[in-house]
Amino acid sequence: MSDTPVRTALWDGPTRLFHWSLAALILAAWLTAGKSMEWHKLCGYAVLGLIVFRLWWGVAGGSTARFASFLKGPKTTLAYVSGLGSRKAGETAGHNPLGAWSVAAMLLLIALQAGLGLFATDIDGIESGPLSDKVDFDTGRLFSEWHELAFRVLQGLIGLHLAAIAFYAIWKRENLVGPMITGARRFSGAVAPLRKAPLWSLAVGVVLAVAAAWLIAKGFRVKL
């Protein structure tokens, strides 16, 4: 039996497109904050639409994108953490147990941070969120402060995420970036290959994401 690593499909196209689109939008939102608020808000709406898509894809997407396939309990996660000292590359077909919970935490924080921005009110009340009229001025300013604070926490999580990528590359000799670009990775042992979701599931996810972003941008004010 050959010990040659076998190239195996790992991430589907929608998962990879979500990942890089979310990264680009968060960077764009950061760069436009306080400078080009119209674009900043558009980035926020798109981010929330992507989060809606990812929640759907985590239930009805490809096998490695489904939450049920990678979110593990405390025992499994702690067992994985105890083995981080080993230099052997992991053979997990998807997110490892620790990475899975970091992904979940980041998704929740991004949703919270962008959601707070919907109610945020600026000092002069001109560039406020689409739902800022649902709260009074002082509460809107509080949401604005929380929006900023949540982003600082998000920056910390992103920093940890990048540090983890570097750790796996240097210590574990495991490339986490490449598979998120190509969709495939070489495994030494036998692993279950990616099972892609049907096209109708992707179509539903796209419709949900676009509808969510549009409704949020309109402040949920829809005239029939």
Instruction: Judge whether residue 47 has pLDDT over 90.
Output: yes
Whether 34 is in a domain gets the answer yes
Which residues partner with 187 through β-bridges?
6
Spatial CA neighbour of 218 closest among 48, 67, 74, 17: 48
**Which secondary structure element, helix H or strand E, spans residue 160, and what is its range?**
helix 137-170
Helices (H) and strands (E) in the chain, counts: 8, 2
pLDDT score of 223: 67
Q: What is the pLDDT of residues 179-211, one digit of tens each?
A: 999 999 888 777 888 999 999 999 999 999 999
Whether 8 is in a domain gets the answer no
Whether 1 is in a domain gets the answer no
DSSP code of residue 194: P
pLDDT > 70 fraction of the chain, expressed in percent and rounded = 97
Whether 5 is in a domain gets the answer no
Give the Cα separation of 109 and 97 in Å (integer): 19
In angstroms, the Cα distances linking 177 to 14, 60, 166, 174, 184 are 16, 24, 10, 9, 11
Q: What is the pTM of this model?
A: 0.92
Whether 199 is in a domain gets the answer yes
DSSP code of residue 6: E
Q: What is the pLDDT of residues 145-172, one digit of tens each?
A: 999 999 999 999 999 999 999 999 999 8
| Number of domains forming the structure of the chain | 1
Give the Cα separation of 194 and 94 in Å (integer): 9
Among the residue ranges 45-54, 59-68, 87-96, 196-205, the one predicted with the least confidence is: 87-96
Domain that includes residue 200, residue range = 13-217
Whether 74 is in a domain gets the answer yes
Whether 61 is in a domain gets the answer yes
Give the Cα separation of 143 and 165 in Å (integer): 32
